[in-house]
Amino acid sequence: MKYDRGSHLSPERITLSLVDENDLDRHERDHLVHCAECSEARRHLAGRLENLSNQAARFTPVTPFKVKLPASEASYGTPWTLRFYGGLVAAAICLVLVVTLSWPHLFTHNPRPYGNVNLTAESAADEKLMNEVKNLSNNSLPESLQGIVPDPGYRDDEDEFQGFVVPGDA
Amino acid sequence: MVYARIQSKADTEDLVQDVFLKAYHSLETLRNPELFKAWLYRIAVNKVNDFRRRQKFASLFSFGEKEVDQEYPDTSPDSYDYLAGKQFWQRFNEFLRKLPTLQQEVFRLRFLDHLGLQEIAVTLGRSESAVKTHLYRSIEKFKKEYPHESISTEEAR
């Protein structure tokens, strides 16, 4: 129901003026100010609402009541940025510690015991040992005795040798 | 504000404690300090709604138990105040029950808590124009449904 110039505001427009007076157009607002009947209707409705509001306040008990807040914390707590960067610094310190403690092991401890270097060295040692064995099997005398050679007229007679070692007839 | 919604002194104290504790812990989320009041009311409205939901759920299991009478005031020396208060809240709740939930909330926030339109909009997470519409409808219902003879106790005396 829109306002018709010369007539009073409708009850709905009066209600609307209580919700937000700016929703009325300029003529309606002027009328509301100058018309005794409309301003009385508005005042009456506003009074009823105010009365309700006053009664609600009156019948709401006021008791001394203190809200208990945790005293140990700061009012804003720790800001998230501080927590984030604190965590970042702690992580960096841990990383440095781990690297420092494990650094020497990274170079002294060979993770590949059968690497190329070891295999070559081992095969060289094996070859040397096999040469020694071969030499011994060819000539078991120590090197110092190898210069002793038999007499040129020596005849290898086993029986004579046995007779020499175990004299029988004597 | 809380009492006007649940009309129980003990529960009001518990809820107010909860509201302030929640506000204290989530103060960082308050982006616009100018809207602190609306922000606090929003927490309160949510807490009251949670409380009501819990109460409703609990009532499902309270077979045969006598419903506790709404307390107003718990121990009043003045019997007139006690009766007038009880009568007032009964009448008011009866009227509110005739409104949709959102209109109830808008009406309470405007006339019991004296919040502005913008504050109500922030509290309920609605647009200002939606708040105006709900407020308009609730006042229209108030005009028709709320008894005219509700004179203040001061006048009655």
- A13: exposed, middle or buried (Cβ count in 10 Å: 0-12, 13-18, 19+): buried
pLDDT band at A94 (very low <50, low <70, confident <90, very high): very high
pLDDT of residue B155: 45
pLDDT of residue A90: 94
* Residue B140: C-alpha distances to residues B126, B132, B151 (Å): 20, 12, 19
Contact check, Cβ <8 Å, B24/A75 = yes
* Residue B42: C-alpha distances to residues A13, A110, A126, A134, B35 (Å): 30, 66, 87, 100, 11
The answer on pLDDT for A18 being more than 80 is yes
pLDDT band at B153 (very low <50, low <70, confident <90, very high): very low
Closest CA relative to residue A25, chosen from A4, A49, A53, A55: A4
Across the range A15-24, mean pLDDT stands at 86
pLDDT band at B43 (very low <50, low <70, confident <90, very high): confident
From CA A58, how far away is CA B153, in angstroms rounded? Answer: 9
Contact check, Cβ <8 Å, B21/A69 = yes
Contact check, Cβ <8 Å, B142/A68 = no
| Residue showing tokens 């107010």 | B16
Taking the Cβ of residue B111 and every Cβ of chain A, the question of whether any pair is shorter than 8 Å is answered with yes
From CA A101, how far away is CA B144, in angstroms rounded? Answer: 83
pLDDT of residue A125: 92
Check: pTM over 0.80? Answer yes or no. no
Segment B101-117, tens digit of pLDDT: 889 989 988 988 888 88
> Which residues in chain B have their CB less than 8 angstroms from residue A45's CB?
139, 143
Backbone phi, then psi, for B74, in 5-degree steps?
-60, -50
Tell me, what's the ipTM?
Answer: 0.73
pLDDT of residue A77: 58
> Which residues in chain B have their CB less than 8 angstroms from residue A70's CB?
24
Segment A38-52, tens digit of pLDDT: 888 889 988 988 988
Contact check, Cβ <8 Å, A68/B72 = no
Contact check, Cβ <8 Å, B9/A58 = no
pLDDT band at A126 (very low <50, low <70, confident <90, very high): very high
The answer on pLDDT for A17 being more than 50 is yes
Across the range B85-110, mean pLDDT stands at 88
